[in-house]
Amino acid sequence: MTRELWKGNNAIAEAAVRAGCAAYFGYPITPQTELLEYMSARMPQLGRAFVQAESELAAINMVYGAACTGTRVMSSSSSPGVSLMMEGVSYIAGTEIPAVLVDVMRGGPGLGNIAPAQSDYNQIVHGGGHGDYNLIVLAPSSVQESVDLTVLAFDLAEKYRSICVVLLDGSIGQMMEPAEMPPFQPLRTEYPDWAVTGAKDRERRFLSSIYLDPPQEEAANLRMLRRWQEVQANEIRYKTYYMEDAKFAVIGFGSSGRVALTAVRAARAEGIPVGLLRPITLNPFPEKVVEDLAKQVEGILVVEMNSGQMLEDIRRIAKGAAPVEFFARLGGIVPLPDEVLDEIRRLAKGPLTLEGHPRDRWLARMGTLN
Amino acid sequence: MQTEIIFAGFGGQGVLFAGQVVAYAAMDNGLEVTWIPSYGPEMRGGTANCTVIVSDEEIGSPQVRYPAAVVAMNLPSLDKYESLVKEGGHLIVNSSMVDRPVTRKEIHSVMVPGNEIAEGLGDKKMTNMVLLGALLANVPLLPLEAVEKSLREHLPEKHHRLLPLNYQALREGARFLAEKV
Amino acid sequence: MDTQEEVIVYARPDSLTKTNTHYCPGCTHGVAHHLIAEVIDEMGLRERTIGVASVGCSVFAYNYMNFDFVQAPHGRAPAMATGVKRVFPDKVVLTYQGDGDLASIGMAEIVHAAARGENISVFFLNNANYGMTGGQMAPTTLPGQKTTSSPNGRDVETQGYPIRASELLATLDGASYVVRRSLHDPKNIRLAKKAIRTAFEVQLRGLGFSMVELLSTCPTNWEMTPQNSLKWLEEHMIPYYPLGDYKVNPAVAEIKG
C-alpha cells in the first residue's frame, strides 16, 4: 500500500480527478479553497475542464450544464457558497442528473467564520433548495475516508442520477493524514442514453426540471421517490466501535465522530462500557442501526458541531427506547476529547430521563460557559 | 500508544514544517498520524501552531487539550502551552526567544538556544530543526535516523543541497536532554 | 399531360419541430426561432447543436427546436452553456434569452461568459418588458414606458435607466461579435439572419463569445395590434437601442468579407 501525506482538500481533488471527473467549476471560499486551487492546476494539465466561475451560483449552473452531457462533473464550496448554490442543486435534482458537490462546512449563520462546523446538516440532509428531493450525503471523518467517499460519490451520483454531496467540516479539509489514492479511471467515452450530446442519428433529447402539467410533475416526484427507496435499501453506510457489549452509545458524524472515538477509548479505559456509532451516509440515514442501538443501550449521547440537528433525527428514530443526551460546541469550535469524556462519565453515572429535551439540558450546562 | 505534539511559534519560524517532518516520518514508519494546523485570520502573520498525533491505531480526535509534548518556539507559545502539557510530558523551549524559565516541575523541560545554534550553523531558518532534534531526543517517538531518511525522501529535489545542514541542526538539537523530573 | 415542376420556396426547417406555437399572435419569437433554425439547417449543424433555453416566454424554445436542448434556471443560461461547451468544445452551443433573463437576473452570468470569451452564441430577444409574467417593467423598458409594474410610465428617477446590453458587453475583450438587429420588417429580418449566421461562424472558428440582440415585439403586453407594435418598435425602441455592430473582432470581419 502506497500511502502519501495529503491535506484533506487536496486529497479530495486528486480523488475526483482519479474518479474520472472531466469538469470542475468552483469559486474560492475558505476553508475549501485549496480544492479549487488544486483543480486549477491539475485539470488543465490533463486537458480537462476547469472554470473559476464568477460566483457559486454560476459555478453550480456550469455543473448543471456539464452534468446534462452525462460526464462526471463536480463543484466544491463552503457553507455560505453552498447556500448560494441551492438554486442549482434543486434544478439538478429536478432534472434527475448526476453531479458531485463537496461542502467543507464552516461556522455560521451568515458570514460566520472560517472555522470548522457541522451546522449545515439540515440544509444538506433535509433540504436547502426548494421542492421535494433527496441528496445522497456522505460524511467522511478522515482524509482517507474523504478520498474513498469522493470516488463513491461519483459512482452513486451516476447510479441513482442524483446529486451526491461529500459533507465535511473545515478541519478535515485542512488536516493532513496519510492516504492511499485510488487507481486512475479513464474518462468516459460513452454517454448515457439520457444525455444531451447532439441529436445525431437519434431523436432530439431535452433535459429540464420543468413539468408544467401537475400530474406529470407528480409522476416525476414519485419516480424520484421510488429511486430514493432504492438508495435507502442499498446504500446505508456507517461504522461502529466497541458496540458489542456497550451499555452506552455515543453517536457523532465526521469530526465529532472521531473526537468522540478518543473519548470513548478513554472512557473504556476507565471501565465505562461505551461504544460509538459514526454514521457515514447522513442521507440515507442508518435508521435501523440507531433503532437497534437504542434498544441495546441504557443511554445515548449525541455529539455534534451544531445545535442538535442530527439529534432530532436520533430522537425521532430512537422513539424513547433509550434516554438521549446531547453535547455540542458551536460557532466553529471543535469539541475536545476531554469534554466529550466528561459527558460520557455523566451519562454513565445517571440518572437519565426520557422527559424534557436533551438540547435544553445541554444549554443549561453551557450556561456556565457563556 | 498515542503521542500528541503541539508545535507553536511565530509565523515564519517553520513550526508547520517541523510538524510535517514528523508526520512524514511517522507515515514512512507505518504509523498512523494526523497533522492539523491552526487556521484562521491568525495564519496571516502572528502566531502559528500545528498539532501532530502519532499512533499505532486509528486516530480519533486530531486535537487534544493536554498534549504529551509541546515545542514552544517563542514566549507567547510558552505562556499558552506550559500549563497544558500532560503531567510527565515534555516541553521543548526555544530559549533564544523567551526570557523566563519553565515553572512547572512535574514535566520534562528542555531549554534549547535554537536561534543561536542555527545562526552558528549559518542559517537561522534551521531553528525549527534544532528544536525538532531536541524533541526527538527526549520523546520516544521516532529515531533521529528515521526522520533524516524521511526528510531526504520527501524534500523536493531542488532543496536537497540543504539536507546536510538540516541533519546537522537536528543533531545539534538532539544534544539537549531533559533532566530527570 | 402537361406537368409543371413544383419549386419549394418555403418550408419548415428540419431544425424546427412540427408544433403549434404557443406564442401570441404577432410576437416575433416565432421569427427568431425560424431564423435560427434556418441557419442551423443551412450550415448543417443540427446534429451537433445543443441549445440552452432560458426562463421567460422562450422557456418553451425547446418545444420548437428540433435538436438537443437543456433548460436553465432564470438568468443562468450562459453559465449552463459554459458547462456544456467546456465538456463538448466541438459541439455548437447556443443560448436563447429574453431581456429580463439576460439583462436583469442573469447580468452576472452574461457579463462573465462574455469576459471569458466563452465560445458560445447568445441570441438575445429584447422586447422591453417581462412577457411571460404579464408585462412588467424590464431592465430594457424605455423611459416613460407603461408596464404593469410601472403603471405611470417608467420614472427614471426612481426606477433607473434602461440597460443597453450590446453596448455594455461590447466593452469586454472576450466578446468577439456583438451586434443589434431588429425583427420589425423583412429587410431587417434578412439582416438579422445574416448576423445569426455570423455568430455561428464565430463559434465554429473558435473566436469566442458572440451575441445577436434582436429587437422584438410584445403586442399582447404592449396592448397593441401586431402591426402597431412593429411600428412602435421602429419609432421608440430603435432610437434608444440603435441597430448596428458593437463589437466585431478583426478576425470576424474577415469571415464577413
How confident is the model over C8-62, as pLDDT tens digits?
888 899 999 999 999 999 999 999 999 999 999 999 999 999 999 999 998 888 8
Q: Give a yes or no: residue B159 inside a domain.
A: yes
Residue C7 neighbours by CB distance under 10 Å? 5
Q: Are C68 and A71 within 8 A, CB to CB?
A: no
> Which of A234, A259, A286 finishes a domain?
A234
Tell me the CATH number at B134. Answer: 3.40.920.10
Contact of B37 with chain A, judged by CB distance below 8 Å, is answered with yes
User: For residue A266, what is the domain's CATH number?
Assistant: 3.40.50.920
Long-range Cβ pairs for the range C243-247 (8 Å, 24+): C243/C180, C243/C181, C243/C182, C243/C188, C243/C215, C244/C179, C244/C180, C245/C178, C245/C179, C246/C166, C246/C167, C246/C169, C246/C170, C246/C178, C246/C179, C246/C180, C247/C169, C247/C170, C247/C175, C247/C176, C247/C177, C247/C178, C247/C179
Are the CB atoms for B173 and B56 separated by under 8 Å?
Answer: no
User: Using the beta-carbon criterion (under 8 Å), do C70 and A51 form an inter-chain contact?
Assistant: no
Q: Do B20 and A174 touch (CB under 8 A)?
A: no
**Which residue out of A73, A204, A210 would a mutagenesis test of the C interface target, given it has the greatest number of C Cβ atoms within 10 Å?**
A204
The neighbouring-strand residues paired with B115 are: none
In angstroms, the CA A313 to CA C188 distance is: 63
Task: Classify residue B181: in a domain, yes or no.
Answer: no
Domain that holds residue A255: 238-366
Check if B32 contacts A (Cβ < 8 Å).
Answer: yes
Q: Do residues B16 and B67 lie in contact, with contact meaning Cβ atoms separated by under 8 Å?
A: no
Chain C interface mutation, best of A43, A68, A96, A193, highest count of C Cβ atoms under 10 Å:
A68
Global pTM? 0.95
As given in the structure block, the three cell numbers for residue B49 are 501552531
**Interface ipTM > 0.85:** yes
Say if the Cβ atoms of B64 and A336 lie within 8 Å.
Answer: yes
Which of A106, A145, A172, A262 has the most B C-beta neighbours within 10 Å, making it the best mutation to test the interface with B?
A262
C69/A contact by beta carbon, under 8 A: yes
Cα–Cα distance between A60 and B2 in angstroms, integer?
Answer: 42
Q: Assess whether chains C and A touch, using the rule of 3 or more C-beta pairs within 8 angstroms.
A: yes
Could you tell me if residue B147 is inside a domain?
Answer: yes
Q: Do residue B61 and residue A262 have CB atoms under 8 angstroms apart?
A: yes
The total of structural domains in chain C comes to: 1
**Chain A residue numbers touching C48 (CB-CB < 8 A):** 198, 200
Q: At C36, which CATH number? A: 3.40.50.970
Residue A233 burial (CB count, 10 A): 9
* CATH of residue A61: 3.40.50.970
Same domain, A28 and A145: yes
Based on the domain organization, do A170 and A295 belong to the same domain?
no
Give chains near A: 3+ CB pairs under 8 A.
B, C
Of the candidates A113, A178, A337, which has its C-beta nearest B61's C-beta?
A337
Q: How would you write the pLDDT of chain A (370 residues) with one tens digit per residue?
A: 689 999 999 999 999 999 999 999 999 999 999 999 999 999 999 999 999 999 999 999 999 999 999 999 999 999 999 999 999 999 999 999 999 999 999 999 999 999 999 999 999 999 899 999 999 999 999 999 999 999 999 999 999 999 999 999 999 999 999 999 999 999 988 999 999 999 999 999 999 999 999 999 999 999 999 999 999 999 999 999 999 999 999 999 999 999 999 999 999 999 999 999 999 999 999 999 999 999 999 999 999 999 999 999 999 999 999 999 999 999 999 999 999 999 999 999 999 999 999 999 999 998 765 5
Q: Choose the final residue of a domain: A234, A267, A284.
A: A234
